[in-house]
Structure 1
Amino acid sequence: MILQSLVHLYDELSRQGKVAREGWGIAKVSHRLVLDEEGGLIGIVSARKKVLRGKKEKEIPSDMMVPLPATRSSGVKANFLCDNSSYFLGVDNKGKPERTKECFEAARALHHQILDGCHSAEARAILSYFDHWDVAGARDNPLVQTNLEDILGGSNFLFHVGNKDVSDIPEIRDAWERYYRSGSGEEDTIKGQCLITGKKDMPIATLHPKIKGVLGAQSSGANLVSFNAPAFCSYGYDGEQGQNAPVSEEAANAYGAALNFLLADRTHAKVMGDTTVVYWSEHGEEAYQDGFLGMMGDEGGLTDEELDDVLAHMKEGRSSDIGGISVSPDEPFYILGLAPNAARISVRFFLRNTFGDILKNLAAHEERMKIVHSSLEKERIPLYWILKAMDNPDCRKESAPSTFWAGKLTNAILINGYYPEAVYKNIMRRVFLCHEKSSGGGKNKEKKIDYIKASFIKAYLLKNCGMKWEGKIQMAVNENCNDISYVLGRLFSVLENIQKSANHGINSTIKDRYFNSACATPAAVFPLLWKLTNAHLGKLDQPKAAYFKKKLGMLMDKIAMPDTGTPLPHRLTLDEQGAFVLGYYQETQARYAGKKEEK
């Protein structure tokens, strides 16, 4: 299903002119080998482009459309028109002169095989170059000596004749495409039925294309499909590589080109922890990606009002407009999560659904996340903010919990499934471990209970523990909720407020010393807090003391008094501790909102 979807995307993108047509690909070219009409080398010219890296300008190879490069693992296999110095100059620093000569001869044979029937001056110049270039004395050539450092650096070279790149010559392009369609002209090419397209008598890909742009994978590219050990092969196909699951060269190159296109364009790819998420619509329209990116909490070029309008249309099953493009709720939409592995790329998840249903799932998550907050806070919470809330700001990225749970959390949100319990536990852990003390120059790195943590705790309780908390937990403080854990959280906020009112300018409050124990074992802590509160109330003027006593009385009335023992639970479960945190957060936010109204 993954490969079929990518092949279909390739067909759509090639019709739109966004990717190279069959037989062509993008290569990084650093130099041009300039030939005269007789095939003599008259120059080695830089093809690099200048880009800004930070504050410095740097030269990097240019991305150029060339005949599709061969997939190499080992052995000698030449590319047409564009290749490295081993194949085109017979010069390298590998210390194997015999192999280097073999590479040059392979390139000469390939170019003769393709261009022998061509009559253009450019084709004759290339063949003449290969026939007359002296491999034995190549390193002593003045042009090679001048550019030796770049040549030995593994650069790719493209032939250039008569002020033209030879890849732009129509006759040479036609010759290459005839050769490519014939099955690469190799006598030992295995043919069979392609599992992706269903076409019969097709050249089967032994090695699949390299995929570039997956975070943590090899920068030179890694395989999505490969068979390099008997354990991965079907019975009887040990060591047969591509024959184990036959995919035609046409389909393999198509899915590779489509996936590399998505990964190269960061509007189609998003990194979540160690998972690189790519997404696309069946017809390759970018408007769908913009809408999806906006609902994930990123800008996506859309305002909140535009996203709300799109979502309203999707819920009603009607098409909407994004950037002048009509988007349909019934458009198939694909989301693929990729992560690095030792030898190949690992697929974390693959989802196929209609665009409307995926947006509805994101909206359901967004609705659960809604909670009262400061007007300065962003309404839509990006997914990576939730992941960041799991981590200690001082921990190394590779050991951060978000690195391991990003893929599962993303998948849960997109299918409207249960949130991973580990994400909730890690966020609660950060609540308990964080101490809002100034450090590193007097600036807090992390808040104990902030908008993001409270939002996810609320969403988790409503989704994973809905039978218990549905109707009890709302966006703002729920005055009618009598659950003991939620009430105690609100009560703790009031006790803290009393302490602050009685001791103006206090540096630390009961939250710094007692919050964690009050949340976990309330029966052991609250009697002490009430004793402290009585002392604080004695410091207040009568009207303010009366207000706080009334507030305390209202909350105490919600706590059921048993016939024997303490009315407070000795220990709260983990979900009850989350409700305690929410009660504290929402009561505190209500207090701030009340102060603003008074002002």
Structure 2
Amino acid sequence: MLRRLMEYAERHGVDVEPGFLPKVVHWAVRPGAGGDRWDVTPLGDASEGGEGGLLFPRCPHLIQPELVRGKTRHFLVDSAAVVAFVGVAPDDPKAQQDSARFAELLHKGGAEAGLPELVEAALALRDPASVGGLQEALTRSGARKGHLVTVGSRRPLPVELADWRDWWRAFRGALVTTAQRPRRMRCFLTAEVTEPALTLLDVKGIGRDAGGGGEDTLIGFDKPAFSSYGLTKSENYAMSEAAAWTCLATLNHLVGSQARPLAGADVVYWFKDRVRPEDDPLAFLHPKGLGPEEERQQRQVEEAEALRHLQELLTAVETGQRPDLASNRYHAVFLSAAEHRAIVRDWVEGDFSRLLIHVSQWLNDLATINLTGRTEARRPGLQLVVECLLSPRKKGQKRRDWLRPVGALRASLWRAAACGAPLPDGVPARLLRLLRAFWQSGQFEEVTEADKHRNYAATMSLLYTRMGVLRVYCLRAERKGGRAMPDELLSCVTEDHPSLAYQCGRLMAVLATIQKEALEQVGASVVQRYYASASVTPSLVLGRLAKLSNYHLELLRQKRGKEGRAARLERTFHDIWCRVGRDLPPPLGLLEQSYFALGYYQQLVDIRAYGKHPASAEPEPKTAEESESDE
């Protein structure tokens, strides 16, 4: 992985040098005449609801051990909390110390590098009254404590100039040379004999969608248990400072630009050669962004057109029309963070053409009919696929705590989508439990029979996703066994499907509908009483329910205007019963239970399509993310 990161930096021209990092700076400040007022200039564009900010590719940067060793702060660019006490108490000793160190280094750098503008700002920052004015000005302008601030008022700002860089290299070099030097060793990445870097850059921004986003150590040997053969700290994985900085700064660059959040983790991927955004297959799996807004924007693209474009790309690669894609490769690392450590959960690389095949297959396998019975539901993003394995989030529950139970399944789901792997048994085990609770709770009837129920969109979106994931599990389990059955499992009801469990699920849906339409008002329905047991041991339940259906059918025939409805339900019942035969299946395993759930849902949709609820009254719901965003 580290070697691939170095290749990416070389191939794509990532500007990397120890002591420098790209940073997004939000504010530029400069003292006015006399230092009693400050000119505050917002950087970047925050008009679309974002935080704004402007990316400067070469900002001075010290890693945490260097800050501690030098008893200093960052030069030229630091947070609003450090520069002007924004969001912190001005009388806090730690905040006062950090602010004084920032002003001291700014004065030193400005004087020795010949930048009087920095000296002027440093002198103003030493005056408590002047700092109070800056704090007020930044707060009034909307600055937050974590926003980065630099000195200047007009472009080019001092941070963009090269005048201070030689001084900065010398200053940082002095911090490094004052530390104890390790023995010379061979670099793991370049194979050159070198002095291993004492401390390495952290990875920043992992897990922002679940409240993370701090700095986490990817390579660290700070505890004796991590060391071996008498080596200490960085000697256990010797890398030259230049090689280590290149790898980790490039990874930080990719986390900031190419990371796709996935339930508290991040999928960071890149291609050997540049790929146009519209040709990126992984964009269909998890639209870029940290929240539902980006997911909603992605859904505005016609799904049929997107699937067609994927197929056209695959055809172009196979026929040689796109040699640039045929020779391309992708690399992806699945990262999460825990206890301030970045953890590599998975590493995948492969041909671009195989990626196209797998993503297209995932989207096709995920297809499921919507409640109208006429069109397929929208394919969910991978974020919703992971979240559909969870119970509803409790009020006040932190997102990272809510996501924790499925932490081990995130990488498996991503690998299934991007690499064509089968789903682990933990996925249907969770889904089947949640679906049983859903059908037995009566929530489905509540949201579908009420006029414009406020939870309709979110409930249906979640149901579609769960049924789609179950279909993926069934298809891939059968493909793994080399059977031809996958081609026979459609996204809608499949009347001649050979699985007895699937036909039993269909039968359960018909029996439940007959009872419901015959009695209308019933205390506990067939589904609420028997769905859980029927989905596991149909032979103990369905026979009795089939006999009871004769009574319910007779009641339905006696209702005025319901004769045709009763006849159609009876024909469907007999057709399914003939397919099941006299011997109902024994207790069902996970795969058969999944078929049962799919058969139940698809038959229920088929019945509703010709039932008393016209399809036109069932609008296509938005995704769950869209519903949450609207609220």
- The answer to whether the 8 A contact 1:486-1:576 is kept is yes
> Are 1:370 and 2:383 matched, yes or no?
no
Write the mapping of 1:463-478 to structure 2, written as runs, cut at 5 A. 463-466=476-479, 467=481, 470-471=484-485, 473-475=488-490, 476-478=492-494
Quote the Cα distance in structure 2 between the aligned partners of 1:492 and 1:469.
26
Q: Is the 8 A contact 1:520 1:572 kept in 2?
A: yes
1:555 Cα deviation after fit? 2.8
Query: What one-letter code is carried by the residue in structure 1 that aligns with 2:348?
Result: L
Which has the larger displacement, 271-280 or 63-72? 63-72
Aligned equivalent of 1:146? 133
Q: Distance in 2 between matches of 1:10 and 1:282?
A: 11
Going from structure 1 to structure 2, the CA distance change for 1:285 and 1:521 (only over 3 Å counts) comes to closer
Residue 414 of structure 2 corresponds to residue 414 of structure 1: no
- Check conservation: 1:205, 1:247, Cα contact below 8 A: no
Alpha-carbon offset, residue 206 of structure 1: 2.0
**Following the alignment from structure 1 to structure 2, what is the Cα–Cα distance between the partners of residues 144 and 106?**
14
- Taking only aligned residues, the RMSD between alpha carbons, in angstroms, comes to 4.7
Residues 318 and 328 in structure 1, CA contact (< 8 A), matched pair in contact too: no
Q: How big is the shift at 1:70? A: 0.8
**In structure 2, what is the equivalent of residue 455 of structure 1?**
468
1:580 deviates by 1.7
Matched, 1:436 2:430: no
2:243 corresponds to: 251
Cα 1:578–1:153, aligned 2, differ >3 Å: closer, same or farther? closer
* Aligned equivalents of 1:284, 1:42: Cα separation in 2: 50
- The answer on 1:572 being equivalent to 2:585 is no
How far apart are residue 337 of structure 1 and its match? 1.2
Aligned to 1:387: 386
> Which residue, 156, 178, 186 being the options, matches 2:177?
186
Letter in 1 for 2:442: E
Report the residue type matching 2:237 in the other structure.
Answer: A
Residue 300 of structure 1 deviates from its aligned partner by 8.6
The 3-state SS of whatever aligns with 1:477 is coil
Give the corresponding residue for 1:69.
61
Q: Between 423-432 and 289-298, report the one with greater CA deviation.
A: 289-298
The percent of aligned pairs where both chains have the same amino acid is: 19
Q: Which amino acid aligns with 1:489?
A: G
**Residue number in structure 1 paired with 2:575:** 554
Quick one: structure 1 residues 528 and 47, their matched pair in 2 at CA, closer, same or farther if it must change by over 3 Å? same
Report what 1:195 is aligned to: 188
Q: Which amino acid aligns with 2:189?
A: I
- Counting only pairs closer than 5 Å after superposition, residues 149-164 of structure 1 correspond to structure 2 as 158-160=150-152
- Equivalent residue of 2:327, what SS? coil
Q: Which residue type is aligned with residue 436 of structure 1? A: G
State the distance in 2 between where 1:305 and 1:448 align: 21
Which residue of 2 is the match for residue 341 of structure 1? 338
**Farther-moved stretch of structure 1 (373-382 vs 3-12):** 373-382
Give the deviation of 1:341 after TM superposition. 0.7
What pairs up with 1:194-273 in 2 under 5 angstroms? 194-201=187-194, 204-215=197-208, 216=210, 219-238=213-232, 241-265=233-257, 268-273=258-263
Deviation at 1:218, TM superposition (A): 5.2
**Which position in structure 2 is the counterpart of 1:564?**
none
Structure 2 residue aligned with 1:314? 314
The 1:313/1:158 distance shift into structure 2, 3 A limit, reads closer
The alpha-carbon deviation at position 212 of structure 1 amounts to 2.5
CA distance in 2, matches of 1:209, 1:431: 42
Structure in which a larger fraction of residues adopt helix: 2
Distance across 1 between alignment mates of 2:336 and 2:147: 29
What is the TM-score of this pair, normalised by structure 1? 0.77
Q: Is the contact made by 2:334 and 2:411 (CA closer than 8 Å) also made in structure 1? A: yes
Equivalent residue for 2:290?
none
Tell me by how many angstroms 1:71 deviates.
Answer: 0.4
Partners of 2:566 and 2:151 in 1: CA distance? 88
* Map 1:34-49 → 2, pairs under 5 A: 44-49=38-43
Counterpart of 2:346 in structure 1: which amino acid? F
Matched, 1:291 2:281: yes
Mean CA deviation greater in 574-583 or 290-299: 290-299
1:351-400 deviation per Cα after TM superposition (whole angstroms, max 9, x unaligned): 11122212212223333333444446434332233223222224444235
Q: Cα gap change, 1:81/1:41 in structure 2, threshold over 3 Å: closer, same or farther?
A: farther
- Output the amino acid matched with 2:200: L
Specify the SS of the correspondent of 1:418: coil
Cα pair distance change 1:164/1:376, threshold 3 Å: same
Between the aligned partners of 2:90 and 2:309, the Cα distance in structure 1 is: 60
Please tell me whether residue 331 in structure 1 is matched to residue 328 in structure 2: yes
Query: Which amino acid in the other structure matches residue 146 of structure 1?
Result: G
Paired positions, count? 566
Partner of 1:496: 512
Native 8 Å contact 1:295 1:307 kept in 2: no
Q: Deviation of residue 419 (structure 1)? A: 0.6
1:23-38 superposed matches below 5 A: 24-27=20-23, 28=25, 30=27, 32=29
The 1-side partners of 2:436 and 2:378 are apart by: 26
TM-score by length of 2: 0.73
**In structure 1, C-alpha distance between the alignment counterparts of 2:323 and 2:134, rounded to whole Å:** 53
Letter paired with 2:205: K
* C-alpha spacing 1:192/1:383, structure 2 compared with 1 (3 Å): same
SS at match of 1:489: helix
Aligned counterpart for 2:546 among listed residues 527, 530, 536: 530
- Cα distance change of structure 1 residues 53 and 519 upon mapping to structure 2, 3 Å threshold: farther
Residues 452/157 of structure 1: CA separation in 2 closer, same or farther (3 Å cut): closer
Contact kept? 2:537, 2:587, Cα under 8 Å: yes
SS of the residue 1:317 aligns to: helix
Q: CA deviation at 1:501?
A: 4.6
Gaps of 5+ in 1: 562-566
Helix, strand or coil at the partner of 1:558: helix
Q: Which residue of 2 aligns with 1:4?
A: 3
1:470-513 per-residue CA deviation (whole Å, 9 max, x = no partner) reads 42751043333454322222222222333345346879742233
Secondary structure of the 1:328 match is: helix
Determine the C-alpha separation between the residues in 2 that align with 1:406 and 1:158: 39
User: Quick check: 300-309 or 4-13, which moved more?
Assistant: 300-309
Q: In the alignment, which residue of structure 1 is the partner of 2:600?
A: 584
Residues of 2 paired with 1:412 and 1:443: CA distance?
A: 30
Residue 86 and residue 107 in structure 1: after superposition, are their counterparts in 2 closer, same or farther (change >3 A)? farther
SS at match of 2:584: coil
2:105 pairs, out of 96, 104, 107, with: 107
Q: Contact conserved, 1:210 with 1:223, CA < 8 A, in 2?
A: yes
Aligned-partner residue type, residue 585 of structure 1: Y
- In 2, distance between residues paired with 1:471 and 1:162? 68
Question: Which of 398, 402, 408 pairs up with 1:399?
Answer: 402
Query: Mean Cα displacement is larger for which, 391-400 or 441-450?
Result: 441-450
Residues 95-122 of structure 1: CA distance to partner in whole angstroms, max 9, x if unpaired? 489977995798389749xx85x6xxx4
TM-superposed deviation, 1:207:
3.0
Show CA shifts across 1:16-46 (max 9, x none): xxx677753234465545599xxx9787543
Equivalent residue for 2:622?
A: none
Shift of the alpha carbon at 1:332? 1.4
Q: More displaced, 389-398 or 462-471?
A: 462-471
Q: Which moved more, 1:345-354 or 1:459-468?
A: 459-468
Report the alpha carbon displacement of residue 449 of structure 1 after superposing the two structures with TM: 9.6
Question: 1:510-566: per-residue Cα shift (whole Å, max 9, x none)?
Answer: 2233222222232332233123211122231666655544443333333444xxxxx
Are the counterparts in 2 of residues 33 and 45 from structure 1 also a CA contact under 8 Å? yes
Partner Cα distance (2:126, 2:616) in 1? 84
Q: Distance in 2 between matches of 1:311 and 1:336?
A: 26
What displacement does 1:165 show?
A: 2.9
8 A contact 1:192–1:204 mirrored in 2? no
Residues of 2 paired with 1:143 and 1:51: CA distance? 28
